[in-house]
Structure 1
């Protein structure tokens, strides 16, 4: 696929996905969603990729400023919602669990950790994208907003499900019912962020963390642990324990288990096969 609104690069086990519409503050369009899903499907299938980092083009001075104004005007003119995506759009993460088979929830089916490196404003769908990432690193002073209230929209793309699970009901109600702007410092205090960093250190810290995970965590472990986390949001403790026991019995027979033990005893970096 020709990438017109995104960029994609892989280095040292880390895939860097950049939302790139700098003249529009990296605003979201159907084209961007189509490219983004294609990139995620490619990264998920690539054994050279162990961790995915998503950020905004720094020239856009935003992570993602939400839906493009032109798209919002188009919805209004048509009198209906039009996602602007083709029928054959890529389906990354689909087929793992039917509860993940929807827009943005597909992140939970992707078998690799996804880190949002939030280097500027994240509004509307930009907040959605950050919320459905597994980890969130943000620059100091960044601003967030759900934004939907000003357009007579509902809470978008599952925010009403995911935000209470990240920050709790009290903070989620504040964010969603007011559609107010809140800062990265507030987001850190709420528990929305994993790291709050000076802007000049954000990408270095995010990619260093990603490389550390890529080097030290077996790919099979990262994949199954991530799926356990999101499946367990829907089930009881006993079911979680039983699933973990079944996975342990299966995964202990994989070559990466032996490699992990050997690397630990030999005090060296493991050479994962995935």
Structure 2
């Protein structure tokens, strides 16, 4: 696919950076961007080099939500324009049926997804951040659901994911009021892993992504699956028993042997290589 409103770069470290790239329009969301983003993620899923992905926005904005020209066109309609929906890829699908929908498919990706909210973030962009695994926020970034002021309901499953991240009371405040929050306030609620100033932000995101990328890709995928499987379950004993089964499975993998050798030899592990290479 020809990328017109997004970019992607895969570093030697195994970190893929995906950038929403319409800075002249605040990186606002369109059907084209929807199709490109999902195509990119499907390609990254198939790329064995990729261990972690970072999602961010070009310029000083993350994404201001749906393009205002498109919003005007929806007046009197009964739903959003699907854009290139018939042509979109389905990354993250097939892991659990609960993930097989717009935005929530990010939970099904095999690798951790870090959302670097480097500026204004509204509407669908907030949902994309919420359904990421790790979130970093630029200290002065303005963030809002936007829907309350448009006389619209909560979008893209934010009513499911947000209470699980920041708690019911904070989620009710954010969703019912539709007010604009600064990243620091959301950080205090627990939404962001870190909230940083512009001088620290890029380096901190890269450092964290590279830290994850240096870990066992198998363990990262399995741990991500455990997190969301258990989030959808209500049986702690089942979680304990499943983790015991997974321990047995992963101990038979080459990465476990490499991890033990690295610990004994007091060096950094070199994960993802075959036993012959090690």
Interval of TM-score (by shorter of Structure 1 and Structure 2): over 0.9
2:217 pairs, out of 216, 219, 227, with 219
Superposed counterparts of 1:83-98, under 5 Å: 83-98=82-97
User: Aligned residue for 1:5?
Assistant: 5
1:234 pairs, out of 227, 232, 235, with 232
The SS at the match of 1:73 is helix
- 158-167 or 34-43: bigger deviation: 34-43
User: Aligned residue for 1:30?
Assistant: 31
Distance in 1 separating the partners of 2:213 and 2:38: 22
Deviations 1:53-84 (A, max 9, x none): 111001xx310000001221222254432221
Distance in 2 separating the partners of 1:263 and 1:48: 22
- Residues matched between the structures, number: 271
How large is the RMSD of aligned CA atoms in angstroms? Answer: 1.2
Q: Structure 1's 104 and 80: CA in aligned 2 closer, same or farther, altered over 3 A?
A: closer
Distance in 2 separating the partners of 1:121 and 1:70: 18
8 Å contact from structure 2 (residues 107, 228) kept in 1: yes
Distance in 1 separating the partners of 2:252 and 2:52: 24
Distance in 2 separating the partners of 1:25 and 1:96: 33
Instruction: After TM superposition, give the deviation of residue 194 of structure 1 in Å.
Output: 0.6
User: Aligned residue for 1:245?
Assistant: 244
Structure with greater helix share of residues: 1
Distance in 2 separating the partners of 1:209 and 1:273: 19
TM-score by length of 2: 0.94
TM-score by length of 1: 0.96
Deviations 1:88-127 (A, max 9, x none): 3111111111111111111111011111111101011111
- Structure 1: give runs of 5+ residues left out of the alignment: none
Deviations 1:5-24 (A, max 9, x none): 10100111100000000110
- 153-162 or 82-91: bigger deviation: 82-91
Distance in 1 separating the partners of 2:79 and 2:44: 33
The SS at the match of 2:85 is coil
| Matching of residue 207 in structure 1 with residue 206 in structure 2 | yes
User: Aligned residue for 1:104?
Assistant: 103
